[in-house]
């Protein structure tokens, strides 16, 4: 299943937990593994706290400090920072599914990470029962 994600900022973390949960319900998956994959070199996916929106803002602030947009990058497109951020965060996650629900901790959510937006992105979601 391919989902479309619309991003609005150069760098943003978008909570996609409900999108993934809805995909599970549409497919009728009761138990298994959910594989989430981002097929882009400047976007990623991660699991982190979703209860407090300040956490995602803190992640963005720190990752932008660690990997600034302007540096001695050689990549001519001007988005080397986005490529580096994606490599560090990663492009896939595996999440258990039990009784038709994602198995996440109390405070956890799944985030699409945009590092070179705004853009229209694709997100692949697969299931193994």
Express each pLDDT in 29-50 by its tens digit.
999 999 999 999 999 999 999 9
Q: Domain 2-128 has what CATH class?
A: mainly beta
Closest of 128, 129, 127 to residue 20, by C-alpha: 127
Report the C-alpha gap between 75 and 62 in whole angstroms: 22
Domain residue limits, the chain: 2-128
Q: What is the pLDDT of residue 54?
A: 96
Percent of the chain residues past pLDDT 90, beyond the cut: 93
Q: How confident is the model at residue 19 (pLDDT cuts 50, 70, 90)?
A: very high
**CB distance 48 to 59 below 8 Å:** yes
pLDDT of residue 76 exceeding 90: no
pLDDT of residue 77 exceeding 90: no
Global pTM reads 0.94
Q: Where are the alpha helices (DSSP H) in the chain?
A: 17-27, 53-66, 80-89
Distances (CA, A) of 77 to 46, 74, 82, 116: 25, 9, 11, 11
Mean pLDDT of the chain: 96
């Amino acid at each position: 299943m391919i989902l479309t994600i619309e991003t609005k900022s150069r760098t943003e973390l978008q909570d996609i937990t409900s999108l993934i949960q809805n995909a599970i319900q549409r497919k009728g998956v009761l138990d298994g593994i959910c594989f989430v994959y981002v097929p882009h070199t400047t976007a990623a996916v991660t699991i982190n706290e979703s209860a407090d929106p300040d956490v995602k803002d803190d992640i963005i602030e720190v990752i932008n400090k660690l990997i600034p947009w302007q540096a001695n990058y050689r990549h001519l497109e001007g988005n080397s920072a986005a490529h580096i951020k994606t490599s560090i965060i990663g492009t896939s996650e595996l999440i258990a599914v039990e009784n038709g629900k994602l198995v996440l901790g109390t405070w956890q959510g799944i985030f699409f990470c945009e590092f070179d937006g705004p853009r229209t992105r694709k997100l692949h979601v697969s299931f193994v029962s």
